[in-house]
Amino acid sequence: MPRPNREEEGAYHDRPILAKTWKNKIWFINGDLVRVKHIHRSANMVYWWNINKDMKGSMLYSEFKKKRKKAYTVREAAKLLNIHSKSLPRLVKQGKFPKAIGSAPGGETGWQIRSYYSEDHIYAMREVLSETHHGPPRRDGLITNNSCPTLEELRYRMGDGMLLYTKADDGRFIPIFNETI
């Protein structure tokens, strides 16, 4: 049977099919790493597996949406903070950053166990980085750190903020964050 032309297929078939990934299924709830198994929207229920406590759980979907925090892998957290992914474990060993929570019972981390940071962890790490000076000391004692993202920029990168651009007199486009308007 010959395949129909694109004009005959209609608008429905032109849309790409978005595959569900593990990314939108792993969250933090009350500090525990959970994997969403099923969302029953008509019953307003979410069924999940608590990875750290190794047990099933459920809650109202509306409550889940309020309490959930995004989970970011170590590589994603490093990218959000403008640092190299190998620098993150070094800073954890130095005691500057909190340890990532592993996807094993008890939150253990190890070889080939995916580890995650929550939104709160990333905001705390950004605060530590913003207070860290790079380069030779300044005469006035101020902190120089051009690589650390601002709080508004971090919110935008995490999907919570809005970014607008304005055109300068010389033709450059300058980003303006929603919080500064």
Q: Which residue ranges of the chain lie beneath pLDDT 70? A: 1-23, 177-181
Q: Is residue 178 in a domain?
A: no
For residue 178, what pLDDT is reported?
Answer: 60
Residue 19 structure tokens? 């595959």
The CA–CA distances, whole Å, from 21 to 35, 36, 56, 112 equal 12, 12, 21, 19
Residue 139 maps to a domain: yes
Tokens of 178: 């929603």
pLDDT, one tens digit per residue, over 104-119 is 888 778 777 889 999 9
Task: Please count the CA atoms within 13 angstroms of the CA of 179 that sit on its side-chain side.
Answer: 9
pLDDT in tens, 167-180: 889 988 887 766 54
How many domains would you assign to the chain?
Answer: 1
Judged by DSSP in three states, 159 sits in coil
Residue 27, domain extent: 22-149
pTM: predicted TM-score of the whole model, two decimal places: 0.74
| Residue 164 falls inside a structural domain | no
Note whether residue 93 is domain-resident: yes
